[in-house]
Amino acid sequence: MYGKKVKLRILFISLLLISVALSIYLILKSLEENVVYFLSPTEIRNLVEIENKKIRVGGMVKNNSIVIDSENVNFIITDFKNEINVNYSGPVPNLFEEGKGVVAEGFLKDQSFLIAEKILAKHDENYMPPEVAESLKDK
Amino acid sequence: MINQLGNYSLYIALLISIFVISKTSLSLRKSSITLSGNIFSLISVQSIMVIISFLTLIYAFVTSDFSNETVYNNSHTTKPLFYKISGTWGNHEGSLLLWLLVLTIFLFIFTVESKNLSQRYRTLTLFFQQIIIFGFLLFILFTSNPFSNLFPIPNEGTGLNPILQDPALAIHPPILYLGYVGTSIIFSSALAAIISGSINKSWASHIKKWVLVSWVFLSIGILLGSIWAYYELGWGGFWFWDPVENVSLMPWLCLTALLHTIFTLEKRDIFHSWAVILSITTFSLSMSGTFLVRSGILNSIHTFANDPSRGVFILCFLFILIFLSILIYFFYQKTIKENLTKPYLISKETAVLLNNLFMMFFLSVVLIGTVYPIFLEVINNEKISIGPPFYHKLLIPFLIPFLFFMAIGPNIKWINDKIGKINFTQVSIFIISIIVSYFFVKKYGVSYLLSLPLFILSIFLFFITIKDFFGKKVNISQKISHFGFSLLILSILLNGVLSKEFSSNMKVGDERKFLNKTIKFESIKVIKEQNYQSLIGEFNIKDENNSLSLKPELRIYDQPQTITSEADISSTIFSDNFLVFNVLKNDGFYNVRYQIKPFMIWIWISVILISFGGLISLKKKNV
């Protein structure tokens, strides 16, 4: 019915469309799995159930809350409404200090306890992660 | 007083810009306009004006003239001279002025080096480049003027973020900007060529030089940023898929695709429209890179200047430019004389096309990963971040076929080749790669599903690119770059698989065991430097036959008050020993991180090789 040329072209275009659709599907699926949500201690308190998913918690390091031994760093993140205990072992950034902003990434054990895998702090003494600034705003 | 000199010269540059735009816009319609000497001298004057204003700013920084607001915000009298100078572009206002400086200088170089080309093409390029310059001048003068005055004059500045006081990061922005801004010439000339109907082989061989220049600078700029992140951020990594890094990688991917396309266009006279689309995209990505980094939209681990209001201007400007270029593209598309001879399935043309397809896929992954969190936040106020697993999962499966095609692609002939002549050497190299990777993966117990094919193909590519050096002595630049790339992939892989890491909280005198090594925290001493205090820790790392002493440093700056840590890295050709320490509260504990990073140095060397290939290719044919 159609010439060979047209058939080839249809084949080419459909192959192209399929590969584009496939890559978009792959990207979106992978996005869904690998996204890390950012929560404040208050939002964690209000969680209905605790999923076994990596999250980020942001807030201020509570004064006098850092406890250190040779393997662990324990501290409390607060947004001045609610608090969460964090246990962490590993390298700590320079600006990790009491009374300064911090973001901890890890898994929730329960609503008041986070096992952190990574701690992020900014390179600027006045800097506050935008998420922290916002969750502190409605203090 | 001298401060105002910089300001006035920018206004003069703005006037020149308006004049040149109105003059050259005539050539949009009339095809017979000649570039008069007048316009040429105006462009020189404009570049000189921008140079003057840039020098004025440097002067203000060097003399710590705190009546200038930019200087006050970013400098301090006790800062070493070198960082006073680099402080000029270490901030929002200064870095934009640097952009502008490169824009005008590149335009000047373009007008000089394109003398033998068609007048209409030159005039139109000039026209589009002036529009970009005009936009940047407006932006600088009215939203982020580096010469605003401060009264009363403060005695002391607030200082430059200490983390930026570093030699690699001092030269990183200028080099990166040379790459970014080089793409503006490509953009302008592509639009000019499409209007004047001269997208053809000779355009390709002309613009090729600009593509190469931008590509080389962009590669080196990215390299410098990575090296800095490696030793300064204290994580021991060199790439974090951080949005700020991604925005420099995206134009690079696009430029790499363009580079291959331009070569093909020059040789075979095909892919006309595609080359134009890539030129436009590359520049848009460079502009958005600047916009995203400078606007504060990106929530990144290392963004510095933050001011959302300024972002709106760049965003509008960016949209106007993109809209304008798309309009021009569709309006003048018919002037493109596509060469309709279809390439054969097995030919170098197909290989280049494949390269481009992969580049576009990598680009879209990085783009989505970078932009998606911004969209999600705007749409439903959810805050998310996308980490390395996302990129690894999507890039690695596609990297495997990419490496395969990269190994065989360059050896395919132009026009038409036969699949039948499968090379005996290639097959044997492939078998050797399989054996080598099998034993490697088995020995080191790498448990990732795709690691075996990934190893096989990167080793395959590595051997093939080495073998190619012994072939015909043509296209040596391509061979060097491709070899560099295979070395890069292989070193990243080995580095990722074989890295070992240890971290602990230690007091002076403590000892820890790690693998077969003993790490001892011996002592700490304090030294007063020009603008900071330095705490130097002495660590000793011992195994059966070796003892290595590492002295990482903590710098306590007072202006502004910040602590930075300088890792101590001992590099050999096989492996880096990386040690960094941090202060933890004030009770004697230090957070110590020790890493063994194999083949680290080869990552840097391979990127240098990649860029070096580009440089050679630039020198080879001065068409």
Give per-residue pLDDT as tens, B16-39.
999 999 888 877 776 666 666 788
Whether residue B362 is found in the same domain as residue B459: no
The pLDDT of residue B290 is above 90: no
Domain ranges of chain A: 1-35, 37-137
Mean pLDDT comparison of B37-41, B223-227, B234-238, B509-513, highest-scoring range? B223-227
Total domains present in chain B = 4
B509: left (phi over 0), alpha (psi -120 to 50) or beta: left
Mutation site, A75, A123, A135, interface B, largest B CB count within 10 A: A123
A92 touches chain B (CB under 8 A): yes
> Which pLDDT band holds residue B612 (cuts at 50, 70, 90)?
very high
Claim to verify: residue B192 and residue B321 sit in the same structural domain: yes
B622 part of a folded domain: no
Question: Within this chain, do residues B196 and B327 fall inside the same structural domain, yes or no?
Answer: yes
**In this complex, is the C-beta atom of A5 within 8 Å of any C-beta atom belonging to chain B?**
no
Of A31, A92, A129, the CB nearest to B591: A92
The beta-carbon neighbor of B505 closest among A33, A73, A124 is A73
B442 with B461, same domain: the answer is yes
Closest partner residue to B383 (CB to CB) among A38, A72, A92 is A38
* Alpha-carbon radius of gyration of chain A: 23
Residue B440 domain boundaries: 390-499
Q: Confidence class of residue B183 from pLDDT cuts 50, 70 and 90? A: very high
Residue B130: per-residue pLDDT: 95
- Rounded Cα distance between B555 and B566, Å, is 8
B4 and B105 fall within a common domain: yes
The shortest CB-CB distance from B591 to any of A36, A91, A124 is to A91
The average confidence (pLDDT) of chain B is: 86
Residue B617 within any structural domain of the chain: no
**Claim to verify: residue B511 and residue B476 sit in the same structural domain:** no
Mean pLDDT of B284-293: 83
- pLDDT for the residue B583: 81
Residue B74 lies in a domain: yes
Mean pLDDT of B279-294: 86
pLDDT category of residue A124 using cuts at 50, 70 and 90 = very low
From the list A38, A124, A115, the residue with the least C-alpha distance to A73 is: A115
Do residues B104 and B155 both lie within one domain? yes
Confidence of residue B178 (pLDDT cuts 50, 70, 90): very high
- In a domain, residue B611? The reply is no
**Nearest CA to B254 among B117, B136, B379, B363?**
B363
Query: Which one has a higher pLDDT value, B217 or A118?
Result: B217
Among the residue ranges B28-32, B254-258, B432-436, B611-615, the one predicted with the least confidence is B28-32
Say yes or no: A65 contacts chain B, CB-CB below 8 A.
no
Residue where a domain stops, chosen among B353, B387, B421: B387
Cβ of B371: how many Cβ atoms within 10 Å?
17
Could B368 and A30 be called an inter-chain contact, meaning their C-beta atoms sit closer than 8 Å? no
| DSSP letter, residue A71 | S
Close Cβ partners of A41 (under 8 Å, ≥ 6 residues apart): A57, A59, A77, A78, A79, A81, A82, A83, A84
- For B37, residues 6+ apart whose C-beta sits below 8 A from its C-beta are none
Contact yes or no for A89 and B503 at CB 8 A: yes
What is the per-residue pLDDT for B133? Answer: 96
- Residues B12, B60, single domain; the answer is yes
Residues B273 and B335 in one domain: yes
Beta strands in B181-225 (DSSP E): none
Q: Indicate the pTM of the whole model.
A: 0.90
B591 inside 8 A of chain A by CB: yes
Please tell me whether residue B466 adopts helix, strand or coil conformation.
Answer: helix
β-bridge pairing B517-528 and B511-514: antiparallel
B411-430 tens-digit pLDDT: 887 777 776 556 788 888 99
Residue B474, in any domain of the structure: yes
Q: Is B584:B476 a contact under the CB 8 Å cutoff?
A: no
Residue B435 has pLDDT above 80, yes or no: yes
CB of B401 within 8 Å of any CB in chain A? Answer: no
Q: Does domain A37-137 have CATH number 2.40.50.140?
A: yes
B128 and B176 belong to one structural domain:
no
Chain B segment 157-186 residues within 8 A of A by beta carbon are 161, 163
- Average pLDDT of the residues in B260-272: 90
Of B368, B383, B387, the CB nearest to A27: B368
Could you read off the pLDDT of A53-105 as tens digits, one per residue? 888 888 888 888 888 888 888 999 988 888 999 999 888 877 788 887 888 88
CA–CA distances in Å: residue B516 to residues B234, B521, B541, B542: 24, 17, 10, 8
Residues of A in contact with B234 (CB under 8 A): 91, 93-94
Question: Residue B546's pLDDT band (boundaries 50, 70, 90)?
Answer: confident
- Residue-level pLDDT at A126: 46
Residue of B nearest to A122 (CA): B301
In this structure, are B453 and B579 located in the same domain? Answer: no
Question: In the block, which residue shows the tokens 């990552």?
Answer: B603
Among the candidates B347, B367, B387, a domain finishes at B387
